[in-house]
Amino acid sequence: MGKAERASAMEASIKEQFPGVATEITPRGELVARVSPGGYLDFCRYLRDEQGFKFLSMITAVDYPPDRFELVLYLDAYGASGDAPAMQVMDTRTRQELGPRSAGLTTSQGTPVMVAATLASIIVKCDVPHDHPVIPSVTPLWPTANWHEREVYDLMGIKFEGHPDLRRILLPDWFPGHPLRKDFTSKPALREPEARPWPVVWPDQKDGREPGE
Amino acid sequence: MPDNLRSTPITMPDEGARELVVNMGPQHPSTHGVLRVKITLNGETLEAADPDIGYLHRCFEKISEGLTYPQVMPYTDRTDYVAAITDEWAYALAAERLLGVEVPERAEYIRVIMGEVQRLLSHLIWFGSFAMDMGAVTPFLYAWRERETGYDFMETVTGTRQLYNFLRIGGVRNDIDDDGWQALDRFLKAMDQALIEYDTLFTKNPIFEVRAKGIGPLSAEEAIAFGASGPVLRGSGVARDLRRDEPYSVYDRLDFAVPVGSSGDAYDRYLVRMLEMEQSLRIIRQAIKQIPPGDIQGKVPKAMKPTGEAYARVEAPKGEVACYLVGNGTVNPYRMHWRSPCFTHLQLLPHWAPGNLVADMVVLIGTIDIILGEVDR
């Protein structure tokens, strides 16, 4: 069973369980699912527990002014499977036994702990309204979501309910605004003296001009 | 870690004992850039670690929204600046999928050769600095010697040593000429010798074994849950390699093995990277034999105004580098998101830190092979 067939089988079972979720399949065999903010967390839990999407590749958001953000998650299901592509795997244990003369010697059909091929990929999209940008956090489901959600919060200003440590991550705490929003312009925000974390006063400044202006 | 090889860690006496919070970085030699880790200590034992990132943040994603599609390419070099080709590749792949551009075969093979040389160079830098982090200076000098021949090749082909701007949407900038092939040959010969040398010098070194074995253990399930990819994931015994798993370019025509670790500690991740270097040499040799003559640049539309979205990922030396690109019918990308493996892996530090010594922190940072340009973007 290829990736595309697996995706359409998955689409059918999602339609059955979650009739409100709109799905489509991309030409590359990825499933795209659109959920409402209300059903977002339940749907994610279902994907992880029932469909085996254990790997979260990324979380990001796109701003579509004036009314919505689109939260985007990219998930992979992988694991040992009968029809996974044949994989030549090299075990480092062999290398440890061979000792220090490895070049050209070490290829062997080892028995790895887990041969993982991508069985399916899904893109989960969820519209978050501009006037109330709050969505449940998926950090309890995938620990890796922690920093990805902090980044979305930092740069896009979407708040994640139930996140263990929702702080800015890339920008300093005092930074005004969220730069990846389409209405963000950096210049006025940082030029205004009151937006600065500390006042800049030069001892020889007489005419009120900024140094370098 | 065998107990007899380590002295008992110094801890604070109970009376009046208190935690000590220390800043490691942002200007600490072991942090490989400007990373600040706030560590909480009891004596010399770590109780918590909190990485503070963003010192190199330039909002590359926002900058891209103001550029045209081809103009983004040089900026991708600056994310992972020791493996620029693979970053360019991720962006080129995303843009090609969005635009529906075909890449000629010769260009694909040139990309594979450049990409694998880049992987070797990146792993060489990692090998040298990882050894240096643990106090071994000699491997660093050896690694730099081979790296130089590798950069000779890169310079002959692309004109620069680190930030290449070599890939184009739909192809590559220029072909590899005779000088380039000769430089590549010199590099491959040097690497064959060098890998044996590194092995003799370092792999079985008892001090290295003591420092690396059992440090930063990661089970297969944990690795997947933490979003690990690349050598960190494979070191934990999960045989996943995007080159084989989701073949892009011409990797499905090349024969190579995927090295996997078993215990998932710093030592296994070291072995995985060293074995990967051998496989990269194998891939390059096959690509040289298979490379067909022909064009190096495919047909691209004059005005690049795509609509829709694309998610493309490549197996970079550090792990899974991905680019999410949304087009809205104008010449600028509407949104561009960069998925960086180092950013994801750095979350493992707070997970690993408790109970380790301060000196192990250096090993933990080294073992995930971080590049801060990529973490902060």
Per-residue pLDDT tens for A19-74?
878 888 887 778 888 898 888 888 888 888 888 888 899 999 999 988 889 999 99
Which two structure tokens, joined as six digits, stand for A157?
């200003």
Q: In percent, how much of chain B has pLDDT > 90?
A: 27
- Asked if the C-beta of B265 comes within 8 angstroms of chain A's C-beta atoms, the answer is no
Domains along the sequence of chain B with CATH: 60-376 (1.10.645.10)
Q: How many separate domains does chain A show?
A: 2
3-state helix, strand, coil in chain B (%, to 5): 50, 15, 35
Q: What is the pLDDT of residues A126-155, one digit of tens each?
A: 999 988 899 999 999 899 999 999 999 999
Which two structure tokens, joined as six digits, stand for B221?
């399930």
CA distance B268 to chain A (A): 7
Residue entry with tokens 């979650």: A18
Which two structure tokens, joined as six digits, stand for B118?
């880049």
Q: What is the pLDDT of residues B30-59, one digit of tens each?
A: 767 788 888 888 888 888 888 888 888 888
Among A23-27, B8-12, B150-154, B353-357, which is the least confidently predicted range?
B8-12
Supply the CATH number for residue A37's domain.
3.30.460.80
Q: Check whether residue A21 and residue A64 sit in a common domain.
A: yes
Q: Check whether residue A101 and residue A153 sit in a common domain.
A: no
Which two structure tokens, joined as six digits, stand for B291?
């490379």
Inter-chain CB proximity B257 and A74 less than 8 Å: no
Which two structure tokens, joined as six digits, stand for B268?
């296994």
Residue of B nearest to A101 (CA): B196
A21 in a domain, yes or no? yes
Residue of B nearest to A165 (CA): B50
Q: Where are the alpha helices (DSSP H) in chain B?
A: 60-65, 73-77, 84-99, 105-133, 138-158, 178-198, 206-212, 220-225, 230-235, 242-245, 266-290, 341-345, 348-352, 358-367, 372-376
ipTM of the complex: 0.86
Q: Check whether residue A60 and residue A130 sit in a common domain.
A: yes
Q: Check whether residue A70 and residue A11 sit in a common domain.
A: yes
Using pLDDT thresholds of 50, 70 and 90, give the confidence band for residue A200.
low
- Asked if the C-beta of B258 comes within 8 angstroms of chain A's C-beta atoms, the answer is yes
Q: Check whether residue A67 and residue A7 sit in a common domain.
A: yes
| CA–CA dist A25, A122 (Å, integer) | 9
A157 in a domain, yes or no? yes
Nearest residue to B173 (alpha-carbon basis) of B116, B101, B114: B114
Q: Check whether residue A17 and residue A99 sit in a common domain.
A: no
Residue entry with tokens 């967390």: A41
Average pLDDT over every residue of A6-26? 81
Say if CB B245 and CB B234 are below 8 A apart: no
Least CB–CB distance from B257: residue in A90, A172, A184: A90
Which two structure tokens, joined as six digits, stand for B281?
């040499």
Q: Check whether residue A8 and residue A110 sit in a common domain.
A: no
Domain extent for A33 = 3-80+117-171
A103 in a domain, yes or no? yes
Which two structure tokens, joined as six digits, stand for A143?
């620990």
Q: Which residues of B161-199 are buried (b: 16+ CB within 10 A; e: fewer)?
A: eeebbbbbbbbbbeebeeebeebbeebbebbeebbbbbb
Q: Check whether residue A9 and residue A98 sit in a common domain.
A: no
* Pairing relationship of beta strands A68-79 and A55-64 according to DSSP bridges: antiparallel
Which of 301-320 (B) contact A at CB < 8 A? Answer: 311, 313, 320
pLDDT of residue B308: 87
Q: Check whether residue A65 and residue A97 sit in a common domain.
A: no
Mutate to test the interface with B, among A92, A96, A121 (most CBs of B within 10 A): A92
A28 in a domain, yes or no? yes
> If 0-12 CB within 10 Å is exposed, 13-18 middle and 19+ buried, where does residue A68 land?
middle
CA distance B295 to chain A (A): 26
State the first-to-last Cα distance of chain A, in angstroms, to the nearest integer.
66
| CA–CA dist B278, B258 (Å, integer) | 11
A16 in a domain, yes or no? yes
pLDDT of residue A111: 42
| CA–CA dist A123, A25 (Å, integer) | 10
A203 in a domain, yes or no? no
Q: Check whether residue A40 and residue A132 sit in a common domain.
A: yes
Using pLDDT thresholds of 50, 70 and 90, give the confidence band for residue A177.
confident
CA dihedral angle for residue A145, residue B97, residue B70, residue B179, rounded to 10 degrees: 100
Which two structure tokens, joined as six digits, stand for B222?
């944990």
A178 in a domain, yes or no? no
| CA–CA dist B91, A1 (Å, integer) | 30
CA distance B96 to chain A (A): 13
Say if CB A63 and CB A180 are below 8 A apart: yes
Tally the C-alpha atoms within 13 A of residue A1's C-alpha that lie toward its C-beta: 11
Nearest residue to B377 (alpha-carbon basis) of B68, B72, B76, B30: B76
CA distance B117 to chain A (A): 17
Q: Check whether residue A64 and residue A38 sit in a common domain.
A: yes
A153 in a domain, yes or no? yes
- Asked if the C-beta of B99 comes within 8 angstroms of chain A's C-beta atoms, the answer is no
Q: Check whether residue A110 and residue A121 sit in a common domain.
A: no
Backbone angles phi, psi at B188, to 5 degrees: -65, -40
